[in-house]
A and B are shown apart, each in its own frame.
Chain A
Amino acid sequence: MKLMPCPVHGERNIAEFVCKGPVLSMPSATHGSPQLWARYLFLAENKAGIIDEWWLHTASGMWFVARRDTTCDEILQTWSIEAYRKERRKKQKTTAQR
């Protein structure tokens, strides 16, 4: 049995979770061009390596983010949505300062 380190429920059987695909920024509903939407919806990067993904704990309906290596299926880290947003903001700031 493979375990998912859920940020809320702790380690649980991965069968309780559904993978909902890579974290992407959604184009603007009013200003996004059809090309941007096509890219967002269909044209995947499909990377072999480390990606951030949405996961859903089906029993509790809780969404969160997991970082996974798509070459070996290892789950490296998980965050609640709030914690992930915070981390992203921090990262954006440091790259902006550089």
Chain B
Amino acid sequence: MPLALLKYALGLGERRRHFPAPQPLKKRYDVLVIGAGGHGLACAYHLAKDHAITKVAVLDKGYLGGGNTARNTTIVRANYLTEEGTAFYKESLKLFENLSSELDINTMYSKRGHLTLAHTDAALRTARWRAGVNKHLGVRSEVVGRAELRKLCPQLNLSCEVRFPVLGALYHAPGAIARHDAVAWGYARAAYRRGVDILQNTEVTGVVVEKGRVVGVKTSRGTIAADKVLQAVAGHSSLLANKLGFRLPIRTVPLQACVSQPYQPFLDPIVVSGSLHVYISQSARGEFVMGGATDPCELYNTRSTLEFKEQLMMHILELFPQLAGANLLRQWAGLADMTPDFSPVMGKTPIRNYYIDAGWGTWGFKATPVCGKRMAECIATDTTPALLKPFALSRFENFALVGEKGAASVGH
């Protein structure tokens, strides 16, 4: 037994806090970040690290990393359909691979390979299209047939005696999973060590704007002045924007997921079926992590439904009949901020010095590092980095959408 653990058990060890104790409110900051999810925390970290802006506070109405960051199923990949999307997520993957040492925390980043199954000719055609775009941009991605699929995932049911037989798949070797909490905590601690304040249980109830320019925020604990403000509140994005008088291309829809009890190692790759609206992976702890499509209508509520489980299990058991006896352990939901083109909204807003990071729907965990880095650049320099330009809020009024549909509708 390590000595530290023994000391701790005997009550002799010092109890180190991972995070600072709650602090009183300060009067003003250079930058305020609304939302202590992965995105907000990563941005605060990069503001401090890359741009030496340390008078920064991250505010959250709940506890840090308790929103979608804590609820996501942690698939990290870069095999998107559009060039804009692929280039963006490719940078994120690169940052993710080095994140454990960057943040000095074990993010349990585990490369598994990511399979997007095709059950129809149309799905195979999309797979070929995606593989083409990916390869062109230097992302490893290829279409595999049934014989290769059998080798990559021998557990998968390739029988033709099912309703939707598998014809092939898009294989993305760098596809990975990671420990979401470690990502949030890692960014929070690294930001805190560089001087960033993290204010939990502090809800932003309004934003103070003077002559079209943000000057502070109103919170449940009082008003704080700020030169610049970033909102990164995922499913609650529209509620803040509506208060500021601008609209977002976002609908808030619950996304549900569940895990089984832990089992022996059984499944290595991450398996996704867009046509069956399901995906599954096995965590390092042995739990099967499963999810599907978003709920059928707008809702600000994280209840779980029987319909979701019925739909999900029907299809999961078609792909992996071996799991018929597995027990479910937990289920939950998060509020996904869905956009019409399945792409995020990042950058400037109609309010000066008020920035937005939203529209992350069902796909934003994998973007946490790149988003933090590039949004910090955007805020520090007040110019939109090239990588973020296609995702500006103004694209909707200009009818210049980034059609990521098909690549992101279920394959988180």
**What residues of chain A have their CB less than 8 Å away from a CB belonging to chain B?**
1-2, 14-15, 18-19, 22, 34-35, 38-39, 41-48, 51, 53, 68, 70-73
Given contacts A34-B399, A38-B399, contact A46 B306 (CB under 8 A): no
- Residue in A1, A19, A45, A48 whose CB lies within 8 Å of B297: A19
How many angstroms between the C-alpha atoms of A89 and B289 in the bound complex?
Answer: 50
How many angstroms between the C-alpha atoms of A70 and B253 in the bound complex?
Answer: 10
Stretch with Cβ within 8 A of A (4 or more), from B46-54, B169-177, B241-249, B402-410: B241-249
Inter-chain contact A46/B248, CB cutoff 8 Å: yes
Contact with A along B337-379 (1 / 0, CB 8 A): 0001000000000000000000000000000000000000000
- Residue in B251, B301, B305 whose CB lies within 8 Å of A44: B251
Inter-chain contact A44/B300, CB cutoff 8 Å: no
- Residue in A1, A45, A71 whose CB lies within 8 Å of B238: A45
- 15 of the cross-chain contacts (CB-CB < 8 Å) are A1-B306, A15-B307, A18-B296, A34-B399, A38-B399, A42-B340, A43-B247, A43-B249, A45-B247, A46-B251, A48-B300, A53-B297, A70-B299, A70-B300, A73-B299
**What residues of chain B have their CB less than 8 Å away from a CB belonging to chain A?**
238-239, 242, 247-252, 296-301, 303, 305-307, 340, 396-397, 399
Q: How far is the CB of A19 from chain B (nearest CB, A)?
A: 4
Inter-chain contact A72/B301, CB cutoff 8 Å: yes
Inter-chain contact B307/A70, CB cutoff 8 Å: no
Contacts of B296 in A (CB 8 A): 18-19
Contacts of A19 in B (CB 8 A): 296-298
Inter-chain contact A44/B248, CB cutoff 8 Å: yes
Q: How far is the CB of B252 from chain A (nearest CB, A)?
A: 6
Given contacts A15-B307, A73-B303, contact A44 B238 (CB under 8 A): yes
Contacts of B397 in A (CB 8 A): 34-35, 38
Contacts of B298 in A (CB 8 A): 19, 22, 46, 51, 70
Contacts of A35 in B (CB 8 A): 397
CB-CB nearest in chain B for A72? B301
Contacts of B250 in A (CB 8 A): 44, 46
Inter-chain contact B247/A48, CB cutoff 8 Å: no
How many angstroms between the C-alpha atoms of A24 and B234 in the bound complex?
Answer: 24
